[in-house]
């Protein structure tokens, strides 16, 4: 069975579409964290961000920004998860635009920062640059 997001984009299941182009589809989340919570997906299927060609990713953030502006949200989160341990539930890349109208509604986040020395950061930077 295809992923839910792919089925929504192909109209196989009902969705509340707010935007569509040849490469991108956006719709309201059926279990929103707050009023205006929407999902933006590429029509190209891939479970994780790195599985999607760059040209199919190009509209995701601009469309999320348009939805944020249209919703009137002044505070909001843009979220994209990859893998179960990173809280991805649906195996199709999707970007959430989640309005944060107050402390109780919207996305709640903990940010467990780690201390990392300059040498360790330098090594990591060099490893990443070499692989890009």
Tens digits of residue pLDDT in 78-111:
999 999 999 999 999 999 999 999 999 999 988 8
DSSP notation for 53-112: -HHHHTTHHHHHHHHHHHHT-SSEEEE---SGGGT--SSS--EEEEE--SSSSS------
* Ranges under pLDDT 70 in the chain: 1-13
Token pair for 17: 């579409």
pLDDT of residue 12: 62
pLDDT of residue 128: 95
92 is catalytic: no
- Residue 73 Cα distances to 27, 37, 49, 86, 124, angstroms: 16, 10, 26, 25, 36
Active-site residue identified among 37, 92, 94, 96:
94
This prediction has a pTM of 0.83
Tell me how far apart the alpha carbons of residues 110 and 128 are, in angstroms, rounded to a whole number: 26
Q: Which domains does the chain have, with CATH numbers?
A: 4-131 (3.30.428.10)
pLDDT of residue 7: 47
Give the SS3 label for residue 11.
Answer: coil
Q: Starting from the edge strand earliest in sequence, which strands make up the sheet with 76-79, in order?
A: 17-20, 24-28, 38-42, 95-99, 76-79
- Percentage, residues of the chain above pLDDT 70: 90
pLDDT of residue 14: 75
pLDDT of residue 86: 94
Q: What end-to-end distance do the CA atoms of the chain give, in Å?
A: 34
Tell me how far apart the alpha carbons of residues 27 and 4 are, in angstroms, rounded to a whole number: 12
Token pair for 21: 């182009």
């Amino acid at each position: 069975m295809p992923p839910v997001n792919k089925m929504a984009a192909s109209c196989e299941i009902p969705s509340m579409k707010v935007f569509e182009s040849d490469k991108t589809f956006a719709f309201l989340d059926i279990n929103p964290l707050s009023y205006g919570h929407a999902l933006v997906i590429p029509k190209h299927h891939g479970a994780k961000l790195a599985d999607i060609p760059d040209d199919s990713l190009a509209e995701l953030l601009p469309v999320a920004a348009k939805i944020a502006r249209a919703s009137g949200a002044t505070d909001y989160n843009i979220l994209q998860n990859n893998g179960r341990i990173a809280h991805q539930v649906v195996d199709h890349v999707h970007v959430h635009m989640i309005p944060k109208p107050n402390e109780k509604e919207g996305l709640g986040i903990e940010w467990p920062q780690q201390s990392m020395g300059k040498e360790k950061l330098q090594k990591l930077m060099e490893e990443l640059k070499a692989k890009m």
